[in-house]
């Protein structure tokens, strides 16, 4: 049926672009190796305290040595045990299944489930917001410690990491998404970019896909001429599910931290990072700094110390603005791509509409 087809196309677009984004991030950190300065891991420069040997032992012990094992661990035999042991891959997989089957049960029960879980979600967001109020002091302490111990040496790896992520984000939005716009949606990428100026600026300045949502919907309808039927489905879903910038960033951050500890991650482990970055970007809320939680999850899954997150806090703020803009931009491209696939006539040549604020 029509709704199922729309859903399938949307999901394919989200997963496809998400995967491309993660791979772009992976490529960037492997190419520029921001965590390795002059041939040596940047851990010392960054004042990391956990020593490589103990980390190495833990990573080795995380058992993700081959792909078959990876898939086996995806399906927990006991979900409570998985939760208690922090086996996040299994938890994510279970949650996806659970969420899907909530949509398959009858109306009243489904309503109860949805209300319960969205309440639980709001409670967790409330707690997170409370904790995040302490973040500025934490960042101050961490950065001050690093600078006090290593001086300005630490600036180089962090600066390189910053540039790596920025380059990846630009590559994804200006090349990958532009190609999709040009060849699938058949609209001029440049014009689309110009038309989405307000959306991008809002996303950039709020660092929140959710806060940008009303503007995204309005602009996608008014500027690109996407129907309400498509925009009303694709854009709100995309604001929480489709986070290309976040997925790219999570992967790049985990790899950077691994490099800084001097770890050579094998293919199986890199594959695991890619999958978790992709899946957890789906679960990340569209609010500022939400990916930090997901990065902690990835580090935990690979066996890296959480201390690594502290490392990137110093550059997180600005990168959050950039990756949120990419998250939202991908939603707008998705709306055009899917509208076109649904046979809609977009407005490729119409003059830009002055957006009403």
Which residues of this chain interact with ligand ASP, rule CB under 6 A? 207-209, 243, 246, 284, 286-291, 320, 323-324, 327
Q: List the one residue out of 270, 285, 174 whose CA is nearest residue 239.
A: 285
Query: Count of CB atoms within 10 A of residue 330's CB?
Result: 29
CB nearer to ligand ASP: pick between 178 and 240: 240
Query: Count of CB atoms within 10 A of residue 142's CB?
Result: 17
Q: How far is the CB of 19 from ligand ASP (least distance, A)?
A: 17
Q: Which residues pair with 37 in a beta bridge?
A: 40
Distance CA 341, CA 109 (A): 34
CB nearer to ligand ASP: pick between 24 and 291: 291
CB nearer to ligand ASP: pick between 48 and 284: 284
Cβ atoms 165, 249 nearer than 8 A: yes
Q: How far is the CB of 318 from ligand ASP (least distance, A)?
A: 12
Q: Give the CA dihedral 192, 193, 197, 200, nearest 10 degrees.
A: 120
Q: How far is the CB of 268 from ligand ASP (least distance, A)?
A: 26
Cβ atoms 277, 298 nearer than 8 A: yes
Q: Does an H or E element contain 211, and which? A: helix 209-222
Q: Does an H or E element contain 36, and which? A: strand 36-37
CB nearer to ligand ASP: pick between 102 and 318: 318
Dmax (CA) of the chain: 62
Q: How far is the CB of 345 from ligand ASP (least distance, A)?
A: 30
Q: How far is the CB of 243 from ligand ASP (least distance, A)?
A: 6
Q: List the one residue out of 282, 206, 277 whose CA is nearest residue 238.
A: 282
Q: How far is the CB of 15 from ligand ASP (least distance, A)?
A: 17
CB nearer to ligand ASP: pick between 25 and 286: 286
CB nearer to ligand ASP: pick between 154 and 202: 202
């Amino acid at each position: 049926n029509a709704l199922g087809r729309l859903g399938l196309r949307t999901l394919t677009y989200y997963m496809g672009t998400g995967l491309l984004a993660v791979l772009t991030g992976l490529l960037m950190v492997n190419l520029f190796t921001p965590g390795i300065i002059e041939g040596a891991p940047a851990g010392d420069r960054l004042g990391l305290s956990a020593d490589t040997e103990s980390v190495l032992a833990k990573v080795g012990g995380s058992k993700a040595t081959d792909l078959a094992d990876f898939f086996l661990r995806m399906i927990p035999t006991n979900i409570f045990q998985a939760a208690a042991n922090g086996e996040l891959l299994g938890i994510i997989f279970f949650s996806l299944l659970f969420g899907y089957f909530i949509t398959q049960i009858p109306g009243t029960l489904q309503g109860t489930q949805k209300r319960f879980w969205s309440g639980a979600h709001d409670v967790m967001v409330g707690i997170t917001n409370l904790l995040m109020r302490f973040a500025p002091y934490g960042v101050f302490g961490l950065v001050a410690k690093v600078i006090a111990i290593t001086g300005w040496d630490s600036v180089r790896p962090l600066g390189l990491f910053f540039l790596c992520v920025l380059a990846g984000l630009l590559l994804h939005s200006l090349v990958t998404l532009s190609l999709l716009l040009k060849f699938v949606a058949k609209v001029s990428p440049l014009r689309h970019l110009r038309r989405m100026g307000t959306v991008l600026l809002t996303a950039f300045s709020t660092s929140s896909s959710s806060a940008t949502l009303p503007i995204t919907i309005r602009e996608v309808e008014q500027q690109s001429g996407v129907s309400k039927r498509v925009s009303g489905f694709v854009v709100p879903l995309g604001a929480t599910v489709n986070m290309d910038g976040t997925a790219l960033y999570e992967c790049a951050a985990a790899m950077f931290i691994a490099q800084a500890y001097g770890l050579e991650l094998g293919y199986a482990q890199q594959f695991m990072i890619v999958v978790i970055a992709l899946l957890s970007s789906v679960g990340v809320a569209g609010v500022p700094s939400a990916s930090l939680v997901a990065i902690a999850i990835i580090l935990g899954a690979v066996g890296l110390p959480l201390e690594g997150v502290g490392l990137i806090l110093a550059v997180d703020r600005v990168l959050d603005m950039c990756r949120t803009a990419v998250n939202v931009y991908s939603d707008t491209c998705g709306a055009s791509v899917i509208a076109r696939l649904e046979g809609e006539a977009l407005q490729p040549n119409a003059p830009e509409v002055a957006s009403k604020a």
